[in-house]
Chain A
Amino acid sequence: MSFKQWFIERFPIDYQKFVEINEKIFIKEPIPTHMKKWLFAMGATPLILFGLQVVTGLFLTFYFIPSPEMAFESVRHITEDVRLGFWIRGIHRWGANLMIISLLLHITRVFFTNAYRKPREINWILGVALFFLTLTISFTGYSLTYNQLSYWATTVGTNMIKEVPVIGGLMLHFLRGGDVVNANTLTRFYSMHVMILPALLMFFIFLHIIILRLHGVSIPEGFEKKYYPFYPHHFYKIIIATLFLLAFMSTLTIILPPGLGTPANPAITPQHIKPEWYFFPMYRFLKLFPLHVGIYATAAFVLVFTFWPFIEPLLSKEKRTRTLFSRTAGILTLIITLALTLWETIVI
């Protein structure tokens, strides 16, 4: 009696059907031919990075202690004392940055190939939600290092919630677990960073992929409507991407190891505080306008951005005009975002 038989007796699935489903869903998943080009095959990058974030993040929790007294010290311990701790932390930190970069690239690609159009509007919205969830998880993760910069970035960042009408004050109080950033904030952020947000992300990613699979990958204009199976070609692509990302992030970690900063001191605000680079556009934008104007404008942009697949058809009935409109809006958004980021980077 073979092991397979022994196992199936105890786990009575229809083996034949299982093999079929597996073949249909994975091995023979039809992939459009344009995805043989690397440029179009990068939608999986954020997923690979997310997987690595989950793994490294899990290992970081083995040593991290979320308390105001020990947070910074334990991060220091991981970085300096624990064998290869700097590497795990480095991959986690670079992974977060690369994840945002790859998401931005993915969104840009999807936007300019008009892949969000009917019937894929919901998947666009899910994608945008995933992007903002990623920003939130980055923000909460950053504040866990509990150094001067992250402490004050948390203080300033959470303060913005107050601008939400009516319930802003309540939300701020809930988020901080008190009036100021304190031990409660740290544990709340920890809980969000390692439990709530990853679970939400996983759920959204799952939905995102289900919808993708149900529709099939959209084919940009000018490409043939031909397909090839997922295995082995595309599967290898994912393995190569994973190997490359790991090598790349490890190299980055050696060249630019994750820093520590100075321990958080609630009594002294540093001279120059800046959030992480991916908040630069918003940060610079908020400096240009009174706080509530800036926040409402940002909120409006986010709404338009999220519901763009539904807004676009309202603009024109002509497909060509729409495309022109979308491209212009997309390019403008790109230029403004880049300009604001650059501005904030250069000016202290």
Chain B
Amino acid sequence: MPEKKQKINRREFIFRTGIFGALGLAILTFVRNIVLYLFPERKTKTYHKYLVAREDELAVGRAKQIYMGRTPVFIVRQDEGFKVFSGICTHLGCIVKWEQDKERFFCPCHKGVFDKSGKVVSGPPPRPLDEFRVEIENKKVYVFVEDKTRSPWA
């Protein structure tokens, strides 16, 4: 007889585990949904193409400065292809100058020097100049600029 009692108890145990397991899972799902709600979704960045130059406008080793919004931007024709740099020095945020005769960028604040491919040659800058992704289509040079919206939730 004790054996039988044991059996019923085990069945009862499995039953309760099932029921209250399900209840626990339901509560977990509920909490999971709420957590999803509370943490705003990280948006994948989208980009648009921004025309910066025509291919035939620059000879190899030549550069052109334009402004995108208030950001100074340099388009430099490399031996192969184009590179487009942000003109903001990676050291402390001054604006670099293009020196055509030396084919290099010079930052007047702390004498940082970058070569035409953006690499640091001398001075304090910790990393190369920031680059934009470049695409050439129909002899026109485009860069990819992150879409910014006026949404209050950005």
Contact = CB atoms under 8 A, between A and B. Distances in A.
Interface of A: 59, 62, 70, 73, 77, 81-85, 87-88, 239, 243, 246
Contact of B37 (A70, A73, A82, A243): A82
Contacts of B14: none
Q: Which 8 A-B pairs have the closest CB atoms?
A: A84-B37, A83-B36, A83-B41, A84-B36, A84-B33, A88-B37, A83-B37, A77-B153
Nearest to A65: B152
Given A70-B152, A73-B152, A239-B23, A246 B37 contact: no
B27 to A, nearest CB: 10
By secondary structure, the B interface counts as helix
B8 interface: no
Contacts of B33: 84, 87
B38 A81 contact: no
A319 to B, nearest CB: 45
B34 interface: yes
A61 to B, nearest CB: 12
6 contacts: A59-B34, A81-B153, A83-B37, A84-B33, A84-B37, A243-B26
By secondary structure, the A interface counts as helix
Interface in B19-74: 23, 26, 30, 33-34, 36-41
A167 B30 CA distance: 47
A258 B76 CA distance: 54
Given A82-B37, A83-B39, A246-B30, 15 more contacts: A59-B37, A62-B38, A70-B152, A73-B152, A81-B153, A82-B40, A82-B41, A83-B36, A83-B37, A83-B40, A84-B33, A84-B36, A84-B37, A243-B23, A243-B26
A85 B37 contact: yes
Contacts of A59: 34, 37-38
Contacts of A246: 30
A59 B34 CA distance: 8
A40 B69 CA distance: 69
A246 B40 CA distance: 23
A240 to B, nearest CB: 10
Contacts of B152: 70, 73
A25 B132 CA distance: 69
Contacts of B23: 239, 243
Contacts of A81: 153
Contacts of A83: 36-37, 39-41
Nearest to A89: B37
Interface in B96-143: none
Contacts of A70: 152
B52 to A, nearest CB: 32
B32 to A, nearest CB: 10
A301 B114 CA distance: 85
Contacts of A62: 38
Contacts of B41: 82-83
Contacts of B34: 59, 84, 88
A87 B30 contact: no
Contacts of A77: 153
Contacts of B38: 59, 62
Counting chain A CB atoms within 10 Å of each CB, the highest count among B33, B37, B38, B40 belongs to: B37
